[in-house]
Amino acid sequence: MSLITRLLGVLLFSTLMMYSCSEVTETKRVLLAHTLPISHPVHKGMEVFAEEAERISGGKLSVKIFPDGQLGSEREVLELLQIGSISMTKVSAAAMSNFAPKYKVLGIPYIFRDHEHLFNVLEGPVGKELLQAGSEFLLQGLCFYDAGSRSFYTKEKPIVEPDDLNGMKIRVMNDQMSVSMVNALGGSATPMSYGELYTALQQGVVDGAENNPPSFVTSRHYEICKYYSLDEHSSLPDVLVIGTKFWNTLSPQQQEWLQQAADASVVAQKKFWKDNVDECMVILEDAGVEIIRPDKSKFAEKASIVKERFANDPEMTSLIERIEQQK
């Protein structure tokens, strides 16, 4: 465990005690930390979660949200969940795959046929299995949030064909699947902290990155990158996660209340996401960003090597087959 995580753990223990002592004994305080700004549609989904938890429980559950990375990066906060210093977080499925390997299947390029297929999988048996997969690592999933599809944005030239990526340094998450995908398409994958990316783009450390429209807009990366190629190579969802150390302190009734609140927040968050994507595309066009809609089949064909690498992994092969068979 990193030094910063241990220090945060000490600070958060005192924070947790402060909040716990400020409430009457029948109110359970839930601390939820994440890295997104409050304008993001996923944060708004979590606000609904907090409201629903309090409403359903009749005030016996109280969720306090810490946005904007106030309590650490995705990985740091997940580690804080594992030791019980924080109750909950929201992270990308890619971050979860570093703890629970089954989540890797969600990052395989073009594994989902469309948005409907994505949520049929996430809300079906495979999705429920994945949410439970983190439990042995002290991280239990409650639900998946829509995080759209990730596409390339670049500074100097548009990405129209996969070959356009040749020799380009593309920032990716610190996730092996993302690295493999960009390298398979011909780019040079460059893992980097999201918080460092704006400056890295300015200084030419990287030539571009990949993300969904709301993140492209809220990060203001469109001020630097004027080409957005909607190849939609991956549809990694976000995951609302609760530490099992905290989960096990809850009564069955409290656990049920939190799950009901999570399920209700998913419905609201999907609408927030759709509305925000529409708004973001208008913002990008008004800012002079060129929107490219390439032939995705060319990207899918070249990226298929990533899926083939799991041919000798029976567990992953089974998950892939079940996802592809999902209607």
| 184-223 pLDDT per residue, tens | 999 999 999 888 999 999 999 999 999 999 999 989 999 9
Nearest to 235 by CA among 174, 319, 171, 178: 178
**How much is the average pLDDT of 8-33?**
62
**pLDDT tens digits for range 56-84:** 999 999 999 999 999 998 989 999 999 99
CATH topology of domain 150-235+280-325: D-Maltodextrin-Binding Protein; domain 2 (3.40.190)
CATH topology of domain 3-146+236-277: D-Maltodextrin-Binding Protein; domain 2 (3.40.190)
Beginning with the edge strand found earlier in the chain, give each strand of the sheet holding 28-33 in spatial order.
61-66, 28-33, 88-92, 238-243, 139-145
**pLDDT tens digits for range 241-285:** 999 999 999 999 999 999 999 999 999 999 999 999 999 999 999
**Tokens of residue 142, six digits:** 């409650």
Domains of the chain by residue range: 3-146+236-277, 150-235+280-325
Residue 1: its pLDDT value, please? 53
**Which 3 state secondary structure label does DSSP give 144?**
strand
| Distance, CA of 25 to CA of 61 (rounded, Å) | 11
